[in-house]
Amino acid sequence: MNGFFNIYKSSGTNSTFIVNKIKRITKTPCGHMGTLDPMASGILPVAVGKSTRLFDYLTDKIKVYIAEFTFGYETDTLDATGETLSTSLVIPTKEQIEKVLSKFVGLINQVPPKYSANSINGKRGYELARKGIDFTPNVKQVNVYSFSLLEQIADNKFIFKIECGKGTYIRSLCRDLAYELNTLGTMSALERIQSGVFTKETAISVEELEQNPEKYLIPADSVLSYEKVYLTDKQTKNMLNGVFDITGYNQDEFYRVYSPTEFLGIGWVVNGVLKIKSYVR
């Protein structure tokens, strides 16, 4: 079995637990594309079989989140699951928030939360934080495409929509936005509603998947947008035997490569010759 499942993860569920459950259901190796913290809900794309080899071609896709920020306090994890470190009496207005949001759009430098999977000298940040080891996470450059205030639901609670690239920590956006407003903030809820081509509207629960995995399997090639290349039987045989003799395609570009009967994988043109970079057959 090869392909993807567009899973909707509920809040309070571990991403790794979901992947392991799908492994048992499909009896096939699996992996997820971009973890979601246990408190978060939303889209968790899961690759099945050799489709995990396509992750590198999908990681730069846009992700969209709906986030609830609560102003007036900050926790050690920067979300509602942590211990409160500091409080503030300053609560911003909608107008004050909207005035500064543009400062967090575009390529920005961001310090990841200490409680995160961010690597520090080969160790995960959360591993060091749980041991009480003091450290400063490395600054990362991330891309935020849009950051908008949707509504205010309480005196100190606001709902935001964020479109961003890989590696962006919404918890850090909350912290930094609060600092810009001379207060403190904590991410109190988070939902990922899109991850590249995977959207909330087409997502399924693990329980639905369990009833009929084949029904919900998304073909591996359909999540990619590269131009298609169809090989003849002879070209396919040559390529699978390591003989690369196909020319006429654009240098340094990716292609979806097919035999007469199936999707073979991602092609890459090097020195004018098309080669398979990642097989999924």
Cβ–Cβ under 8 Å, residues 8 and 204: yes
**Residue 37 known to be catalytic:** yes
Report how far apart, in Å, the C-alpha atoms of 144 and of each of 20, 66, 162, 173, 264 are.
Answer: 31, 14, 7, 10, 34
Annotated catalytic residue, options 37, 79, 176, 221: 37
Distance (Å, whole) CA 83 – CA 42: 24
Active site residues: 37
